[in-house]
Amino acid sequence: MNFVNGKDIPLGFGMALAQNSEAMTRFAAMSEVQRREIIAGTHSVRSKKEMQAYVDRIAHM
């Protein structure tokens, strides 16, 4: 899948997303604006554990 041309996906977020298929499916179904908002939210994440929790929340949206 190509999200926002792939180049805008932060590495840690992309890795966490790849490990959570439900979150990936939901993220892929979002509009471009929604995806950009989610990506913008990753900039405040400071650890791998926080990123996993952030991605888990996407799966439950």
pLDDT of residue 8: 81
Please report where in the chains the tokens 């840690």 appear, as a residue.
Answer: 12
Contact 4, 39 (CB under 8 A): yes
Q: Which tens digit of pLDDT belongs to each residue from 5-58?
A: 456 899 999 999 999 999 999 999 999 999 999 999 999 999 999 999 999 999
User: Domain residue spans in the chain?
Assistant: 11-59
Cα 38 to chain centroid, rounded: 6
Give the integer Cα–Cα distance in Å for 61 and 15.
19
Backbone φ, ψ for residue 31 (5° rounding): -70, 165
